[in-house]
Amino acid sequence: MAEGWRAFQRALRAYGRATGARGLHADRAALERCLDQPAPEDPAALRAVKADLRELVHGGLPEGAAGEVAARVDAALRVLGGEVATEPVRVAVEGWPPGADAGLRAALVGRPGGGPWMLPPEEAAALVRALDGQVLGGAVLAVRVALAPGQRLPAPAREARDRSRRGGETPWLPHLDEEGAYSLTPQDLARRQAALLPGPVVVDAFCGCGGNAIALALAGRRVIAVERDPGRLALARRNARALGATLELVEGDARALLPGILARHPGADLLLDPPWGGPGSAGRPAGWSELVALPEALLAACGRVLLKAPRAFSLASLPAGRSWTWTFERTAPGADGRATVACITCLGVPR
């Protein structure tokens, strides 16, 4: 924002010197309010303004052309500014994926019932910021706000803009790398997922630092844990030793090793917790082939299959031939009263 504001002001001042025109948006806060509108009356116009600002920053335009672009931005901002709504507005959330029950909807919205709701404009703006456009189970959520003509929502408070992963708890494994610190399954969730795989033999195809494998072993399962990164496998070994869990650790690529393991242990349950790609990746859409990259034919030799998937994972991509159920695992509510979806537990049982 700072760089865009400076480029806009430089070009607008130059345009004013050349033409005698005066810009109306000399206040940076006014520009920020326009750009931060959660539900603009004219989304296409706002997108055009943002594109023009990017061009002012990166386009290398001649001074005259830059001034014309800045004047166009200024004119658009006068229209887009609108009047800030002060009375409660009607808000509805649409596009929920299958399995998003009333309890989940209430937790993510921070309000009981299925909506629509009459919310103060500030709360409506925060909800748009948090949920509008979020991909959940492969479906895209849309927050619809009924605003009077010429009205806009206020810019969300800054604390409502950070929807990064909540946490802060001390990891329950003592030895983690950077990826493990981000992706470690919380202990209660690891225990609940372990209960869904009755065993007696469970193959963890993407062991990582060992969190899920250790939870399975402590629940009494015989666990064969596969990991292709020797450094991460060493961390899993240290964690298992520290927590008194017995794992059969195997170094290598699951795609190459699983056929042989399943031939020796037909009907073994399969746990899949593949790497997601680090912070921010949970919101990027992905399907079975991109996330898991295992042939579906392998599943024929398995008992139960449990996939821990990011919240954007396309549920429609789950392999056929199994009966799938899923649970949207949500965080505890934050200070705003709303939870977020941390991941999806997908369980496939043979038909």
Dump pLDDT digits (tens) for 194-206. 999 998 999 999 9
Chosen domain end from 47, 81, 115? 81
Dump pLDDT digits (tens) for 211-269. 999 999 999 999 999 999 999 999 999 999 999 999 999 999 999 999 999 999 999 99
Task: Say what the pLDDT of residue 248 is.
Answer: 98
Task: Say what the pLDDT of residue 24 is.
Answer: 54
Chosen domain end from 81, 109, 141? 81
Tell me, yes or no, whether 106 and 29 share the same domain: no
Instruction: Please give the Cα distance from 306 to 292 (Å, whole number).
Output: 12
Mean pLDDT of 268-278: 90
Task: Say what the pLDDT of residue 6 is.
Answer: 79
The CA–CA distances, whole Å, from 218 to 121, 199, 213, 223, 243 equal 49, 13, 9, 10, 9
Task: Say what the pLDDT of residue 279 is.
Answer: 65
Tell me, yes or no, whether 313 and 249 share the same domain: yes
110 and 126 Cβ atoms separated by less than 8 Å: no
Instruction: Please give the Cα distance from 250 to 233 (Å, whole number).
Output: 8
Is residue 168 domain-resident? no
Task: Say what the pLDDT of residue 303 is.
Answer: 96
Tell me, yes or no, whether 183 and 279 share the same domain: yes
Return the higher-pLDDT residue of 74 and 309.
Answer: 309
Task: Say what the pLDDT of residue 31 is.
Answer: 72
Tell me, yes or no, whether 71 and 101 share the same domain: no
List, in sequence order, every beta strand (DSSP E) within 117-214. 117-119, 135-136, 139-140, 142-146, 151-152, 201-204
CATH of the domain at 103: 3.30.70
Instruction: Please give the Cα distance from 32 to 5 (Å, whole number).
Output: 9
Min mean pLDDT across 71-75, 96-100, 300-304 is at: 71-75
Task: Say what the pLDDT of residue 111 is.
Answer: 92
Tell me, yes or no, whether 61 and 95 share the same domain: no
% of the chain exceeding 90 in pLDDT: 58
Tell me, yes or no, whether 155 and 207 share the same domain: no
Return the higher-pLDDT residue of 163 and 19.
Answer: 19
49 and 89 Cβ atoms separated by less than 8 Å: no
With residue 125 as reference, give the H or E element that holds it: helix 121-131
Task: Say what the pLDDT of residue 153 is.
Answer: 83
Is residue 194 domain-resident? yes
Contacts of residue 100, Cβ cutoff 8 Å, sequence gap at least 6: 136, 137, 328
Residue position matching structure tokens 């496939």: 348
**pTM score over 0.85:** no
Task: Say what the pLDDT of residue 67 is.
Answer: 84
Return the DSSP state at 135: E
* Confidence bin at 81 (pLDDT 50/70/90): low
Tell me, yes or no, whether 151 and 133 share the same domain: yes
% of the chain exceeding 70 in pLDDT: 89
Domain encompassing residue 97: 89-159
269 and 198 Cβ atoms separated by less than 8 Å: yes
Mean pLDDT of 138-143: 94
Q: What is the DSSP string of 222-272?
A: EEEEEES-HHHHHHHHHHHHHHT---EEEES-HHHHHHHHHHHSTT-EEEE
Is residue 166 domain-resident? no
Judged against a pLDDT cut of 70, whether residue 278 lies above it is answered with no
Instruction: Please give the Cα distance from 227 to 204 (Å, whole number).
Output: 9
Mean pLDDT of 20-41: 67
Min mean pLDDT across 33-42, 104-113, 250-259 is at: 33-42
Judged against a pLDDT cut of 80, whether residue 36 lies above it is answered with no
* Confidence bin at 307 (pLDDT 50/70/90): very high
Mean pLDDT of 108-124: 91
Judged against a pLDDT cut of 60, whether residue 159 lies above it is answered with no
Is residue 269 domain-resident? yes
* Confidence bin at 119 (pLDDT 50/70/90): very high
Structure tokens at 82: 């609108």
Torsion region of 21: left, alpha or beta (phi above 0 gives left; psi -120 to 50 gives alpha): beta
Tell me, yes or no, whether 219 and 109 share the same domain: no
- At 45, give phi and psi (nearest 5°): -65, -40
Give the chain's mean pLDDT. 87
* Confidence bin at 25 (pLDDT 50/70/90): low
Instruction: Please give the Cα distance from 2 to 113 (Å, whole number).
Output: 41
Mean pLDDT of 169-191: 92
